Amino acid sequence: MEQHFRDKVVIITGASSGIGLASAYQFAAEGAKVVLAARSADKLKQTFCVLSNKGEREEDFLAVPTDVSKEEDCKRLIESTIQKFGRIDVLVNNAGISMRAMFKELDLSVLHKLMDVNFWGTVYCTKYALPYLLESKGTVVGVTSIAGFKGLPARTGYSSSKFAIIGFLDTLRVEHLKDNLNVLIFAPGFTASNVRYSALTADGTPQGETPREEEKMMSAQECARRLTKAVYKRKKKVILTTVGHITVWLNKFFPSLLDRLEYNYMKKEPDSPLK
């Protein structure tokens, strides 16, 4: 796999933490040139320094502060990549935020923000990268969620955005069926990351803590390893974790049963908005 990614150019959004950060390290270890995109310039600089300290060549990396909810930022990200490396082989749309609140109590600005970052961020980056991905016969990845296959209670904005990403990417694949563009829908289950710490509450403020036992979840490093392997194998869809597979299967054959199981499972979270 190392020879496959050597000198390939990989863009990763949300690259300053969690799955994005772990994916940056993984692709770099496989010999790729990695473009790091995230809102925090300071965190990007730290990531850049860590990669350099691992013995990787600085000229093989580019850090571009990017707010994916802004179209101009996404356009600049792609333009900066082409200016430095001249090509794009893989785009990993990983940037995303979550939420936890009942819809009846939710400020609609929270849904707008979730869609702006999760869905429109994917659309903007893909739109501007697409000509170069078609040229390289490359891969566009959407890091979605099991919540994009089955609605997750108290996460209306999150599930909606992930469903939208899957619909967008699935359509994109069919449109370019004869162009050798690979489109990967990559759906982790619960994975250890900071996404739950920064998840928005009903009024749009971060909840500041996770309601789940992070240490019992799949690690971001393992998730990144599987993502890299899926890109290498040009997979179309990957669903991670046993719970993820069971959820998708039950939703197909026993949806009413899954509704009850899911409700009872999620209401056990500490301070759950479900009663």
Contact status, residue 111 vs residue 157, Cβ threshold 8 Å: yes
The CA dihedral of 221, 226, 228, 233, to the nearest 10 degrees, is 170
Q: Read off the DSSP letter of residue 219.
A: P
Backbone phi, psi, residue 91, to 5°: -115, 120
Q: Which long-range contacts (CB under 8 A, 24 or more apart) does 269-272 make?
A: 269/211, 269/212, 270/211, 271/211, 272/154, 272/211
Indicate which residues carry an active-site annotation.
Answer: 158
Helix (H, G, I), strand (E, B) or coil at 239: strand
Q: Which residues of 173-198 are buried (b: 16+ CB within 10 A; e: fewer)?
A: beebeeeebbbbbbbbbbbbbebbee
- The sign one gets for the Cα dihedral 96, 1, 182, 129 is positive
